[in-house]
Amino acid sequence: MKSRLLLAVMALLCLSLMSFGCASKKVAGPDKDNWEEQERERLARERELREKLGRVAGELGTMIHFDFDRYDLKPEARQVLTRKAEIMKQYPEIKLVVEGHCDQRGTAEYNLALGERRARAAADYLVNLGVPTAKLSIVSYGKERPLDPGNNEAAWSKNRRDEFKPSF
Amino acid sequence: MTSLRSLLVCAFAALALAATVVDSRAQDTLAIEIQGPGQARMNIVQSKPFADGNMPADAQYLNELIRKNLAFMPFLKVMSDTDILGGATLPGPKAEQIDFKPFSLAKVDLLVTAVWKPGKGLGDVELRAFEVFSQKLLLGKVYGSVTRDQLPEVADRFCMELMALLTGQGTIFKAKLAFVKPSGKGKDIWMVGAMGRDLAQVTRYGDLGMAISPAWSWDGGRICFTLIGSTSHYLGVWSGGKANVFTLPSSTVISPHYMPNGTVAVALNIRGNTDIYSLDSSFKNTAGTLVADSSIDVSPSFDQSGNLMAFVSDRLGNPNIFIKDLSGGSVRRASKSGYNTNPSMSPDGKYIAYSKQAGGGHRIFVYELATDTEKQVSFGPGSDENPSFAPDSYFIAFSTSRSGGRKIYLTTRNGDGAVQIPTGEGDALMPSFSPVVAKD
């Protein structure tokens, strides 16, 4: 009986892990004539939310970094994510957008896929810590939004990162 | 342009007899083989414009337009008229008045002349190309009652005919490029003719989003692209006017590309990996799976038959170029070693151009399917990325940082000297050729 229950829990967990990026996309397909307007409104509301959250938004926004061509979480990244999971539990109304970024050495399209893996790695970890998948979304910027445009290891290591934006 | 066309019809009629003779001669005179592994360059020079009456103010402008067009042809070396003893001047309006000796002494292979005659607008202009050694007329065209606005098209049409005569292909002069320009914090799609004309902005997301990876439909009427928003990626589809934005069943939407049958193929993450799917016509659902495994699969590119798909996969570690036979299902590796991305399959299905990481940047390589060999065709400096084959399967556009910032250059699959395509102020990247030239 116990093992059946365990199997059921594992199946549910798997389903939840597979659903990143899909959860908010159940209504797929319709044209968005006013995409710009929706995006503008969303960004304005997110700015308001960040102001309201104050210090907590700063803590939620702490970035994590990755090694070259890797997407596994380093111990310090796990610590940062653990703190985020605690905050998320304190503020159950908050959602979190996880942004995956890469350095400038790869090419754009492959880096979008790599950035997605980095964002997903952090999101999966947060789910393991009990954050509901519905509270998380992931978006990859690949190498399109570098923090440091420099062409050296110092710049590259800054750019290989996940950023976190509180949302609603 | 209708008026120009009717004028051209008259012009063609006027030169019909001459053209018949010209074409039959041309076949056994100069010809350039662009199918081979590269070719020697021919010396070409333009005469100063000759006016049979008053010289129109824009006569020199037409010469400059033609000169710029000729500079895009890697098999031509455009000489200056100062290279010719006494200058490249015409003594009179008639072809038989030309003294070919100074041109011959300067080792000129081809001479292009422009003779202006009084008429409506700027007047009528007769453009001719001669083979200097044999003194034969290769091409002669009259464009009647032209205006200044029509001169770029006159230059393109004449050069297109000249290139077609020399190489059998001239479509590059009518090909269009979609590309990406940064706009504030975001990125937008633009388009431009292959010779840098008719620059136009396609999307206007500005700071709100990043529109990247444009790709044309095979009828040249639509452009699909990735739109990166603040919480998800979307599929953008432009067919004139404002682009439509579609939400797909994946927050990751990478490298959309039209298949020849009008279907969009795109890399999505639906099952925990980035795989390549075809979409249904409403873009609501996936219609089929083109490549799916536990690795990253992105950047599909197709030949015009729709049977061959080049794509990137890191199934063997580094990202590399693979080819899938969509009718049989077999997959084989194309690029041989290292980090290889951004494949562009030539429309004829014979070649794949791609970026290979080398040193501090990337270089463009071309893989030939028949011989299973790859060849470097760009040499920096800086980083050369995102190659795109032109409709003729000969020219290749790519983005490069060689001149500071990022700009778009044109080379050939033989690696001939690259020429910058004017794209206006600021960076320009991710060029994508229209696979089929738009009809008039």
Per residue in B175-190, pLDDT tens? 999 999 999 899 999 9
Residues B153 and B184 in one domain: no
State the pLDDT at residue B169: 82
Test A109 with B272 for CB contact under 8 angstroms.
Answer: no
Check residues A9 and B344 and name the one with the higher pLDDT: B344
Distance from CA of A54 to the nearest CA of B (A): 20
CA distance B299 to chain A (A): 7
The answer on pLDDT for B149 being more than 70 is yes
Per-residue pLDDT, averaged over B342-360, amounts to 95
Task: Please tell me the least confidently modeled range out of A25-29, A123-127, B329-333, B382-386.
Answer: A25-29
User: Is B315's pLDDT higher than 70?
Assistant: yes
CB-nearest partner of A107 from B244, B249, B355 = B355
Of A118, A30, A89, A33, nearest in space to B274 by CA: A118
Mutate to test the interface with A, among B227, B254, B378 (most CBs of A within 10 A): B254
The pLDDT of B269-297, averaged and rounded, is 94
Q: What is the DSSP-derived secondary structure letter of residue A138?
A: E
Question: Residue A28: its chain B contacts at CB < 8 A?
Answer: 247-249, 284-285
Q: What is the mean pLDDT of chain B?
A: 89
In terms of domains, do B229 and B298 share one?
yes
Identify the band that residue B417 occupies on the pLDDT scale cut at 50, 70 and 90: confident
B238 and B144 assigned to the same domain:
no
**Total domain count, chain A:** 1
Interchain CB distance below 8 Å, A29 and B251: no
Confidence at residue B91, expressed as pLDDT on a 0 to 100 scale: 86
Same domain, B113 and B143: yes
Q: Of the given ranges (A16-25, B54-63, B86-95, B110-119), which has the lowest mean pLDDT?
A: A16-25
Is A16 within the bounds of a domain? no
> Is 90 exceeded by the pLDDT of residue B2?
no
Q: How large a percentage of chain B has pLDDT more than 90?
A: 74
Residue located via tokens 């393991």: A128
Given CB atoms, is B210 within the 8 Å cutoff of chain A?
yes
Q: How far is CA B329 from the centre of its chain?
A: 31
pLDDT value, residue B96:
86
Which helix (H) or strand (E) is A3 found in, with range? helix A2-18
Contacts of B208 in chain A (CB under 8 A): 36, 39-40, 43
Mean pLDDT confidence for B203-218: 96
For residue A15, give the chain B residue with the closest CA: B271
With respect to residue B324, please indicate whether it lies within any of the assigned structural domains. Answer: yes
Q: Are residues B221 and B273 in the same domain?
A: yes
CATH of the domain at A132: 3.30.1330.60
- pLDDT, residue A73, reads 96
Q: Which of B114, B147, B168 is the last residue of a domain?
A: B168
Residue B16 pLDDT class (50, 70, 90 cuts): very low
CATH assignment at residue B261 = 2.120.10.30
**Residues in B 360-389 with any Cβ partner in A closer than 8 A:** 360, 362, 385-386
- Using DSSP's 3-state secondary structure scheme, residue A114 falls into helix
Q: Which chain A residue's Cα is nearest to B384? A: A107
Question: What per-residue confidence (pLDDT) applies to B388?
Answer: 98
Residue among B266, B262, B261, B296 at smallest CA distance from B278: B266
Query: Is B246 in Cβ contact with A31 (below 8 Å)?
Result: yes
Backbone angles phi, psi at B7, to 5 degrees: -65, -40
Q: Kindly state whether residue B351 falls inside one of the protein's structural domains.
A: yes
User: Each residue of B56-86: pLDDT tens digit?
Assistant: 989 999 999 999 999 988 889 999 989 999 8
Across the interface, do B249 and A22 touch by the CB < 8 Å criterion?
A: yes
Task: For chain A, count helices (H), then strands (E).
Answer: 6, 4
| Residues B58 and B201 both lie in one domain | no
pLDDT (tens digit, 9 = 90+) per residue, B212-233?
Answer: 999 999 999 999 999 999 999 9
Per the domain annotation, does A156 fall within a domain? yes
- pLDDT recorded at residue A31: 56
Q: Return the minimum-mean-pLDDT range out of A50-54, B290-294, B320-324.
A: A50-54
Considering chain B, what percentage of its residues have pLDDT values greater than 70? Answer: 90
* Same structural domain, B334 and B221: yes
- CATH number for position B48: 3.40.50.10070
The answer as to whether B282 is a domain residue is yes
Interface with chain B: mutation pick from A109, A152, A165, highest number of B CBs within 10 Å: A109
SS (H, E, C) chain B: CHHHHHHHHHHHHHHHHHHHHHHHHHCCCCCCCCCCCCCCCEEEEECCCEECCCCCCCHHHHHHHHHHHHHCCCCEEECCHHHCCCCCCCCCCCHHHCCCHHHHHCCCCEEEEEEEECCCCCEEEEEEEEECCCCEEEEEEEEEEECHHHHHHHHHHHHHHHHHHHHCCCHHHHCEEEEEEEECCEEEEEEEECCCCCCEECCCCHHHCEEEEEEECCCCCCEEEEEECCCCEEEEEECCCCCEEECCCCCCEEEEEECCCCCEEEEEECCCCEEEEEECCCCCCEEEEEECCCCCEEEEEECCCCCEEEEEECCCCCCEEEEEECCCCCEEECCCCCCEEEEEECCCCCEEEEEEEECCEEEEEEEECCCCEEEECCCCCCCEEEEEECCCCCEEEEEECCCCCCEEEEEECCCCCCEECCCCCCCCEEEEECCCCCCC
In a domain, A95, yes or no: yes
Domain end point (choices B119, B147, B168): B168
- A29, A42, A106: residue with CB nearest B230: A42
ipTM score over 0.95, yes or no: no
Could A24 and B232 be called an inter-chain contact, meaning their C-beta atoms sit closer than 8 Å? yes
B160 & B180 share domain: no
Closest CA to B54 of B4, B124, B148: B124
Site from B207, B230, B268 to mutate, A interface, most A CB atoms within 10 angstroms: B230
Peptide bond into A75 cis (omega under 30): no
pLDDT of amino acid B34: 55
CA distances from residue B361 to B167, B280, B350, B364, B385 in whole angstroms, order as listed:
33, 37, 26, 10, 9
Position B11 in a domain = yes
Residues B344, B253 share a domain: yes
Predicted confidence band of residue B139 (pLDDT cuts 50, 70, 90): very high
Contacts of A34 by beta carbon, 8 Å cutoff, 6+ apart: none
- Do both B282 and B319 map to the same domain? yes
Q: Does the pLDDT value for residue B18 go beyond 50?
A: no
Q: For chain A, 168 residues long, give each residue's pLDDT as a single digit of tens.
A: 445 544 444 444 444 444 454 434 434 444 556 899 999 998 999 888 888 888 888 889 999 999 988 999 999 999 999 999 999 999 988 999 999 999 998 899 999 999 999 999 999 999 999 999 999 999 999 999 999 988 899 999 999 999 999 988
Band of residue B93 on the pLDDT scale cut at 50, 70, 90: confident
User: Which residues span the domain enclosing B303?
Assistant: 176-433
pLDDT of residue B402: 93
Query: What's the domain range around A69?
Result: 49-167
Rg (CA), chain B: 24
What residues in chain A have their Cβ under 8 A from chain B's Cβ atoms? 17-18, 20-22, 24-25, 27-33, 35-36, 39-40, 42-43, 46, 97, 105-110, 112-114, 116-117, 120, 137-141, 144-145, 151, 165, 167
Ranges A7-11, A71-75, B149-153, B342-346: which has the least confidence: A7-11
Please name the residues between 244 and 263 in chain B that touch chain A, using a CB distance below 8 Å.
Answer: 244-252, 254-255
Alpha-carbon gap: A84 to the closest alpha carbon of chain B (Å) = 18
| Total domain count, chain B | 2
Is the same domain home to B277 and B378? yes
Vertex B399, ends B424 and B379: CA angle to 5°?
A: 130
* B324 and B342 belong to one structural domain: yes
Q: Given a cut of 90, is residue B200 above it in pLDDT?
A: yes
Q: Is residue A83 classed as helix, strand or coil in its secondary structure?
A: helix
Domain-embedded: residue B336: yes
Query: What chain A residue is nearest to B214 in terms of C-alpha separation?
Result: A109
Domain-embedded: residue B439: no
Residue found by looking up tokens 């008229």 in the block: B81
